[in-house]
Amino acid sequence: MRTITLTSPATRLHIAPEAGGRIAQVEARRGDSWLPLFIEPPPHTAADLAWGCYAMLPWPNRIAGGRFPSGGTMLTLDADRDGHALHGVGFARAWVVERVTPRSCTLSLDLGAAGWPFGGRALQRFEATTDGAAMEIELRAGATSYPAGAGWHPWFRRDIAGAEACVTLDADRYLELEGMIPTGRVLPVDAARDLRGGAPLGQRRLDDCYTGVRDPVVIRWGAVAVEMRQDPATAYAVVYPPAHAVCVEPQTCAIDAFNLTSRGIEAGVRIVSPGQPLIARSAWRIITRYTTSDTAQACR
């Protein structure tokens, strides 16, 4: 697997253009060594979902049944084994490298060739910053406007430097799901889903979409932490912690957002049109000697 390594004094990003244009690994400098934060790919499955960090576009998460209405017709997308269209069209495609510097790179993807019926173009920009990493997604239209959303799906390690992960996510509402698809109801978080206090995840096996998320989102492993800050339009986040990993997925719209919108339910969908792209940004501050003074949202 070919990778492009972007390096700053604090961070190394290993970008894999042919493996979904994802960050294959992010490493934080800790003294004289580099500390990896992501799950690595299983052998022979470089296009698999469950490793690194990939962009979800032009929709994040699921579209129910792989179908949604547009312009008076029902459009059909490729569905996964659960019968839903999952995580967009980019994570298993090879991306084109447009530009590389020692600390940044830009990748592109032809959305029409990737299976998006409206065509268009996607860009990803990555940077190894002085204190972490910065990512940007841009969705552009060709001749046809289209509904869109975007997000990131990182697969952090559950255990780093001998410490179990905890997540602080400042949101007091979540989307009620049935069969992994929103019902349209937005509910107050209950005890199992309340991550505002930063308690360890423990045995909680969430797979929930929060709305009205406020910065920063913090994932912490003892003295190591990632603070994630998004642009204001990226107000949703899915939290999914399987037994071996922690996924905190910032996104611009809800799960099944296109179908929710067709029912008159606000879900964060943007219309991308010629000259009016969707741009989403996420900046990560990576801390390797974390103290409670680093943020007011520290895990306890």
* Domain harbouring 266, CATH code: 2.70.98.10
Rounded average pLDDT over 1-7:
95
Residue 20 lies in a domain: yes
pLDDT of residue 41: 84
Amino acid 47: pLDDT: 52
Whether the per-residue pLDDT at 24 is higher than 70: the answer is yes
Per-residue pLDDT band for 243 (boundaries 50, 70, 90) equals confident
Predicted local confidence at residue 289, as pLDDT: 83
CB-based burial, 10-41: b 16+ in 10 Å, e otherwise: bbbbbbbbebbbbbbbbbbbeeeeebebbbeb
* Residue 200, pLDDT score: 84
The answer to whether position 300 is within a domain reads no
Record the tokens describing residue 266, joined without a space.
């606000």
Look up residue 11 and give its amino acid: T
Within 8 A by CB and 6+ apart from 264, the residues are none
- Alpha helix (H) residue ranges in 198-249: none
49/67 Cα distance (integer angstroms): 21
Q: What are residue 88's DSSP bridge partners?
A: 57
Q: What is the mean pLDDT of residues 105-125?
A: 98
Residue 285 lies in a domain: yes
Distance CA 163, CA 231 (A): 30
Distance separating alpha carbons of residues 22 and 154, to the nearest angstrom = 9
More confident residue, 40 or 120: 120
Question: Given this model, what pLDDT does residue 49 score?
Answer: 86
Number of domains in the chain: 1
Half-sphere exposure of 234 (CA within 13 A, CB side): 28
Whether residue 122 is predicted with pLDDT greater than 60 in this model: the reply is yes
Classify residue 299: in a domain, yes or no: no
**Minimum mean pLDDT among 12-16, 133-137, 201-205, 249-253: which range?**
201-205
Q: What is the mean pLDDT of the chain?
A: 93
What is the tens place of the pLDDT at every residue in 170-212?
999 999 999 999 999 999 999 999 999 987 888 888 999 999 9
Contact 250, 228 (CB under 8 A): yes
Average pLDDT on 29-35 reads 93
Residue that has been written with the tokens 């255990």 in this structure = 159
75 is a domain residue: yes
Q: Which domain holds residue 276?
A: 4-294
